[in-house]
Amino acid sequence: MRWIDTLETAAAERLPEAVHRYFRQGSAGGISVGEATAAWSTYRFRPHVLNDVSTVGLGTTVLGEPVDLPILVAPSTMHRMADPDGELAMARGVGAAKSVIGLSSNAGTTFGELGKTGVPWWLQIYVVRNREITERMLDAAVAAGARAVVLTADTPVVGRKEDDGETVWDLVRPGQLLANLPAGDWTDDDLAKADDLNPDVIGRLAERTGLPVVVKGVLRGDDAKRCADAGAAGIIVSNHGGRQLDGSIPTALALPEVAEAVAGSGIEVYVDGGIRRGEHILAALALGARAVFVGRPALWALTVGSSAGVTRLLTDLGTELDHALRLVGIPSLSSLTPDLVTGRFA
Ligand SMILES: Cc1cc2nc3c(=O)[nH]c(=O)nc-3n(C[C@H](O)[C@H](O)[C@H](O)COP(=O)(O)O)c2cc1C
């Protein structure tokens, strides 16, 4: 059995039930979260033979940042429920694999503390109704060395989770969440997600921070084009791990349309959601992703093995990708092309 496949069960033994449920759950009826991995497994490969694959390279750049492997950690909350050092432990694990971490704007670690690790990090931001809060968070993140801003665009309202009994919100303690909320007497309305955004927000974020802006939550080619036209440096094809609109299309199926819509624009395309195997990563990269993000597996790995667990997760997936690249007959990521992939029996 793969170590990766043991992680969720091992994590469930260590976590309070409400935390395990929070990490694993999707919104509403759980359709999108349930379909994500299965959708990646519908792809079939058209491998080359008689290609020299004696040397395979996994290194690439993401927004100009060199990484040892095209597997990044998606922004998520509640790391301090998984490990006492929370995002710091996650970041150290990511750093040892020479990758990049997305830091949730709801994190339980201050930007300053994270910055001191020296691990490259991208700030995930929700624009909230009171723009002063967002602006002050952005300024603090820039001062602490964030390398990019990831605008989560799929959350005009928060997806509905169908919980019974104790929830993670009953367990979370001060300091485990929202460590970067600027001081102030904020109301719930101030903190509610902005539901009046349009693509101009991309330019405003770029101007305020001087950083590349990546839009997370894109599932359609036309929206990807709007983001590119508005100056985004990247997009993440994502349905938020099935935690926003339930029944949203699997990212495995959205990726080809999105990649095609922005081909030649220079924008970098990333993808997340249900990616659990080297073959899934191979399909994603061949279909136009520059790199993939993993969400829940990193939370399980953090719970089970702290920093070393996160490093092992990323390197194990890298080893699987290396193996799959050799089998598909392609020695370098830059040589991957969509014709390597087809639908199940197309
Ligand atoms: C527990 C949890 C918390 C999350 N918190 C955030 C968040 O604060 N901001 C965000 O943009 N995405 C958040 N996400 C979504 C992830 O960034 C990512 O899109 C998703 O987990 C990828 O799917 P995967 O878990 O199947 O790999 C969260 C996901 C999980 C599981």
Per-residue pLDDT tens over the stretch 221-242: 999 999 999 999 999 999 999 9
| 13: confidence class by pLDDT, cuts 50, 70, 90 | very high
| 246: confidence class by pLDDT, cuts 50, 70, 90 | very high
Query: How far out from the chain centre does Cα 124 lie?
Result: 9
- Percent of the chain whose pLDDT exceeds 90: 97
Mean pLDDT along residues 296-304: 98
pLDDT over 90 (residue 292): yes
Contact 238, 274 (CB under 8 A): no
| 270: confidence class by pLDDT, cuts 50, 70, 90 | very high
CA distance 104 to 124: 5
pTM for this model (two decimals)? 0.98
Structure confidence by residue, pLDDT tens digits, 145-192: 999 999 999 999 999 999 889 999 999 988 899 999 999 999 999 999
Q: Ligand 1: distance of its center to the CA of 77 in Å? A: 8
Q: Report the 10 Å Cβ neighbour count for 234.
A: 25
CA distance 94 to 73: 7
Q: Ligand 1: distance of its center to the CA of 50 in Å? A: 40
Closest ligand 1 atom to Cα of 152 = 11
CA distance 184 to 135: 13
Any ligand 1 atom below 6 A from CB of 76: yes
Task: Name the residue at shortest CA distance from atom 19 of ligand 1.
Answer: 240
Pocket test for ligand 1, best of 240, 245, 246, 317 (most atoms within 8 A of CB): 240
First-to-last C-alpha distance (Å) of the chain: 31
Structure confidence by residue, pLDDT tens digits, 181-222: 999 999 999 999 999 999 999 999 999 999 999 999 999 999
pLDDT of residue 344: 74
Closest ligand 1 atom to Cα of 275 = 27
Interhelix angle 3-14/296-328, nearest 10 degrees: 180
Task: Name the residue at shortest CA distance from atom 20 of ligand 1.
Answer: 241
| 328: confidence class by pLDDT, cuts 50, 70, 90 | very high
- Domain 3-337 architecture: Alpha-Beta Barrel (3.20)
pLDDT over 80 (residue 346): no
Mean pLDDT along residues 293-298: 98
